[in-house]
Structure 1
């Protein structure tokens, strides 16, 4: 786990799982606190460079503008100050992300509209993927429609979900930092706080836009990060990114497309037919946000030492962890839940897709390993969560989860494996990922009895599942009736 969410403070020391990770560029620190002057929003504030639409300072000298650019700069500044929305200026985020994909971030390939032949190829790949998956999982198809997106279309389609994910964390960060001022000073500094909130929303929007724009150049569909980012029931692929990935591997494009279609369709089945899963994942992110706290005593001490006439001191303080949040037990618990859940999702998809493709697709093994290496070296999921909430997923967890799901299919069959998604309490835990064989060979729940009870309750024949009345027990009370009776005893 990274030391600081949103990049507050200095980067953590590389651990065992960081070896070989690539430099992640601007997406590494979307909120910019603690980064260099080129990607730090406070550097943009004091140096007037780096904000979208605002010219950068020639020669890297802050504040040294060409007079012809002043109008655009002040117009952009006016837009920042006039923002009155939530903690993130999402209009600016979309603008920055669209600019990034138009410029070809991060691979230098500029975005382009999807042609008719590419759309047809995506539709055919997803249709064949559904047929193959029917024999590999008990979950039915989860995609009501298919679509081929350009990078810009991916940005537009996924921004509503990014907003749902990021707003709670950004709001909590802003609240934590705003609580530093004493109450009487907050009243006196009301207009200034409002201005800073507006500029903060714009800065956050810029950095989130950069991160989403970079991610748009790397993802293959709507579920690469382990979360359902697109509209429900819509399976999607990005032909430009699929083609670039296949070219780098030297594999036939149609095989790469089909394998990635299998992964997208498998994710769709899981998110569509496990109704609690989305709320479980998003709830872990929000639970992390609620635990964010800032060491106000340290911050007050640092603020008191700053010279207002020397804004570069603030820059230095930010890089040294001025706003570093405290790592609370609540946050650790929320991150552990999210990490385990994401590992289970990705492990299940990996196991199911391998089962469906191994005997049919010549390049299945090579593609599986290429995607695992991509994740281990800092793939889209790792980048996203490292930048979003400071969490770095551990590749070891994903391999363990995949092995666990494959072993479950061997031991209990496809139906027994997939039945574990019926309720979060039935899923393997982080401890089970450490000992997959122990979980697989533990006592198997009686799913047929559970199905019978649920069916009886749904049909109104709950009396068939209730235990007999106990008229002779001590205390003289009758046992409770109804579908809930005996649940405690059954779980013993």
Structure 2
């Protein structure tokens, strides 16, 4: 992890696996979450709004500026983020590919590929199908469908950073500076919204489904593929298009099974991000000094202060724990999907091994997951964890079978730890792993769910009688 997880003015580290291309993929700025000055806006965070305007558009520009400064919502102006993401999508990808609406032919092959993928997965995992519907999305539709999840993911971090602006002032000064702080909060929400919108718009040009970053970004039970991005992914690989489609459909369907039938997993991942946000400590002395020198009439001064490390967080023990928790959980998710998909694809797709390695390299050189967490949240994940986790799940399959492997998802305490990823064979053959204990824990969890359900039904009946 970088010493500067918010990336203001700090160059990217070399990746742990020594690959110099780690942060070069996809056009995202390296390690610059909320990095006002990175991304498509260049050195000006407002460039997405004003950069390409001609004089005839000044009225519209000032109207947008007024809306920005009157914003009174949460830490991120999500309306602005959505607008800028859609504008970024409309501009097309660097290779000139434009977004387009989904036609009947694309819908048909997406539905068929995901149906066949679910059929093949039935023999590779004990988890049943997790998707009730299969959909084909344009890039703009991906932005619309996933924005609610990004809000849950990013708001805790943005809230913690934004709160630092008010925390450094004594209470009596906060009362006097109320209007100024309100304006700064509005500007902060707009700046965050601008950066996030640019990042999501760029990401929409790369992702092939709803689960590329290892999280369930779309609506529950809805498996999705982006036909334009699937085609771009397969270009130049020398692999038949049909095999590319089926392999990516297998990955999407496998993610859907895992998140649908491991109910605690989503909260576990998002809780780790919130834990990381709670661990953020700001150098208040530097912030107080910077705030004292800011000129409210000069927004560029705020940007310069941010780029000079005004929000440079300390590397706290709480952050290290949260980072390890998130990194391990994501590695276990992606490693399980990698192992299960390979087992399902190998008997049917001659290019399964080549496609598997292509996706692994995509992650190691800065794929969508790594770019997203670095840019939006400030976490730099280590791609080598994926290979360790995949090897562990494959070894578990050999040693205990599909049911024994998948049974570990029944409770978070049964999953391998970060230390186990360093020694996969040790975990697989450890005699202390007692499956009778797993059965006991699963039984207790099921009993608690039944009790909670009965209580909810009783309360519902009481409410109706009232």
The residue that corresponds to 2:329 in the other structure is: 341
TM-superposed CA distance for 1:311, in Å, is: 6.4
Q: Deviations over 1:188-225 (max 9, x none)?
A: 11011111111211111111111111111101111000
TM-superposed CA distance for 1:322, in Å, is: 1.9
Q: Is the alpha carbon distance of 1:425 and 1:450 closer, same or farther for their aligned partners in structure 2, counting shifts above 3 Å?
A: closer
The residue that corresponds to 1:263 in the other structure is: 251
2:30 aligned with 1:31: no
Q: Deviations over 1:81-137 (max 9, x none)?
A: 111111111111111111111110344211001111111101111111111111111
Residues of 2 paired with 1:169 and 1:427: CA distance? 27
Which of 383, 398, 402 is equivalent to 2:390? 402
Which of 363, 371, 394 is equivalent to 2:351? 363
2:165 aligned with 1:177: yes
Query: Mapping of 1:20-419 within 5 angstroms?
Result: 20-24=21-25, 25-28=27-30, 29-33=32-36, 35=38, 38-40=41-43, 43-44=44-45, 49-52=46-49, 54-56=50-52, 67-304=55-292, 314-419=302-407
Q: Is the alpha carbon distance of 1:322 and 1:446 closer, same or farther for their aligned partners in structure 2, counting shifts above 3 Å?
A: closer
Higher Rg: 1
Count residues with an aligned counterpart.
445
Q: Is the alpha carbon distance of 1:140 and 1:270 closer, same or farther for their aligned partners in structure 2, counting shifts above 3 Å?
A: same
Q: Is the alpha carbon distance of 1:284 and 1:67 closer, same or farther for their aligned partners in structure 2, counting shifts above 3 Å?
A: same
TM-superposed CA distance for 1:452, in Å, is: 7.1
Query: Mapping of 1:3-22 within 5 angstroms?
Result: 3-17=3-17, 19-22=20-23
Q: Deviations over 1:213-267 (max 9, x none)?
A: 1111101111000000000111111111001111131211111000000000100
Q: TM-score, normalised by structure 2?
A: 0.89
Conservation of the 8 A alpha-carbon contact between 1:2 and 1:386? no
The residue that corresponds to 1:470 in the other structure is: none
Residues of 2 paired with 1:323 and 1:148: CA distance? 40
What's the RMSD between the two structures over aligned residues?
A: 2.4
Q: Is the alpha carbon distance of 1:336 and 1:457 closer, same or farther for their aligned partners in structure 2, counting shifts above 3 Å?
A: closer
Residues of 2 paired with 1:94 and 1:407: CA distance? 43
Secondary structure (helix, strand or coil) at the match of 2:224 reads strand
Which 5+ residue runs of structure 1 have no aligned equivalent?
Answer: 58-65, 461-492
Secondary structure (helix, strand or coil) at the match of 1:235 reads strand
